[in-house]
Amino acid sequence: MNKIKMLITAAFLFVSSFGCAQQDQSNSITMEQFKEILKNDKDIIVLDVRTPEETATGMIENAINIPVQVLEQRVDELEKFKEKEIFVICRTQNRAPIGASILTANGYKAKYVIGGMSVYNQK
């Protein structure tokens, strides 16, 4: 009977640990911080990982558009920015963390913007 209780307790703890997992925000930046950097640094590198159809509604000035779906294949296009920090943005912050992870895995310094363009466009 004690073994069953221990197994049930262990299984519960194991399963509940997944429910508490949150998106890692250690490589993120708030919208407020991003807008401040954007205002003060004219050399900022912004990577917009939305699709071309989505960017047709508007992009941040001088942003580079490489959809997250093809970023792994096209990451070398960003080689000249390898020593700079790249700020990754998407529409609602679902794809930007993936884009930032791809860049980091390839030796780039990257942060994703919390909130995405949907928050950026709010006045």
10-55 pLDDT tens trace: 444 443 333 333 455 789 999 999 999 999 999 999 999 999 999 9
pTM for this predicted structure: 0.80
For the four alpha carbons of 73, 60, 104 and 69, in that order, the dihedral sign comes to negative
Structural domain spans, the chain: 23-120
Angle at CA of residue 34, ends 29 and 39, nearest 5°: 160
In whole angstroms, how large is the CA radius of gyration of the chain? Answer: 19
Q: Which residues pair with 47 in a beta bridge?
A: 64, 88
CATH code, 23-120: 3.40.250.10
Query: Using CA atoms, how far apart are residues 75 and 31, in angstroms rounded to an integer?
Result: 24
